[in-house]
Amino acid sequence: MPMEAISSNQMFGGRNQQYSHYSETLTCNMRFAIFLPPQAEKSNKVPVLYWLSGLTCTDENFMHKAGAQRMAAKLGIAIVAPDTSPRGNSVPDDEAGAYDFGLGAGFYLNASQQPWKTHYQMYDYVVSELPALIEKNFPVSDKKAISGHSMGGHGALTIALKNTDKYTSVSAFSPIANPCNCPWGQKAFSLYLGDDKSSWEQYDASLLLQKTQYTLPILVDLGDADDFLENQLKPQSLVDAAKVSNTNLALRMQSGYDHSYFFIASFIEEHLMFHEQYLNT
């Protein structure tokens, strides 16, 4: 699995880098960003926080806007941010070029319907191929946590709930918490997964959460000035699901914050400190 370096910048004593590589899972070239804290050396492997971004994002939005690197450098945590969909001329996109489906909107699932199925396998890419690539090529341990925003919050929650053995903790900002019941999720799931709604359930955090009692530490932040709150994000579904399964869910409604990276930047250090408790034990 050869990788090509795209950029490398020193930051808080560590390095912020971008690489491209050919993904066997997505059958296209992909780009990811990685921040390595100063503690990362061959003899000292650091744990990793995987960050999944939202609709319209690439590997760059989080690294440029969230301001996570200062605390990650202090705590000795690497951050890996993949792209949000397969990319390239051979990858099909929404016919009308809509922002909420196709390129930049892979929804962190394995598509079962053509023409999407050939490339849109973001679930397997994030769960298996990318960590294997990272652990082979960088001074990181196999200790992993996962977080994300909006579509990426949905990805982080569903991936963690389906792989509790792989992640020490999960957090999310403004996640699409019940995609089976909101316009973004219904559009993506019907096209990627088809009309059989039973196949959608495995990618819905609220439906997963209500079925099983989880011991995985879960932190979710939302802003009460988020325009997408009621129509797309549906945090109450997550709260209700956690009650049904008696799972401990820390969900915080932050006053005055919206859906933007200004909100993420305001609380990302708390999320890093939350994950550090479990990554370093």
Ligand X SMILES: N[C@@H](CCC(=O)N[C@@H](CSC=O)C(=O)NCC(=O)O)C(=O)O
Judged by CB under 6 A, the stretch of 27-35, 134-142, 215-223, 257-265 that binds ligand X is 257-265
- Residues 235, 182: Cα–Cα separation, whole Å: 11
> 257 or 261: whose CB is closer to ligand X?
261
Task: Confirm or reject binding of residue 266 to ligand X (CB under 6 A).
Answer: no
> 144 or 259: whose CB is closer to ligand X?
259
- Residues 46, 35: Cα–Cα separation, whole Å: 11
Query: Using CB under 6 A, which of 108, 261, 263, 274 touches ligand X?
Result: 261
Task: Confirm or reject binding of residue 54 to ligand X (CB under 6 A).
Answer: yes
Residues near ligand X (CB under 6 A), total: 13
Task: Confirm or reject binding of residue 57 to ligand X (CB under 6 A).
Answer: yes
Task: Confirm or reject binding of residue 175 to ligand X (CB under 6 A).
Answer: no
By three-state DSSP, how is residue 205 classified? Answer: helix
Whether residue 217 has a cis bond before it, omega within 30° of 0: no
Min dist. Cβ of residue 138 to ligand X (A)? 25
Judged by CB under 6 A, the stretch of 127-135, 147-155, 157-165, 245-253 that binds ligand X is 147-155
- Distant-in-sequence, close-in-space partners of 165: CB < 8 Å, separation ≥ 6: none
For the CA atoms of 147, 270, 71, 44, the dihedral, rounded to the nearest 10 degrees, stands at -60
Query: Using CB under 6 A, which of 30, 55, 241, 279 touches ligand X?
Result: 55
Query: Using CB under 6 A, which of 17, 25, 61, 147 touches ligand X?
Result: 61
Q: Do the Cβ atoms of 32 and 83 come closer than 8 Å? A: yes
Q: Do the Cβ atoms of 2 and 21 come closer than 8 Å? A: yes
By three-state DSSP, how is residue 261 classified? Answer: helix
* Single-letter amino acid code for the residue at 221: D
Task: Confirm or reject binding of residue 147 to ligand X (CB under 6 A).
Answer: no
Any idea which residues carry the catalytic annotation? Answer: 150, 226, 259
> 188 or 279: whose CB is closer to ligand X?
188
Q: Do the Cβ atoms of 71 and 265 come closer than 8 Å? A: no
Query: Using CB under 6 A, which of 17, 69, 147, 150 touches ligand X?
Result: 150
Radius of gyration of the chain (CA): 17
Binding interface with ligand X (CB under 6 A): 54-57, 61, 65, 99, 149-151, 259-261
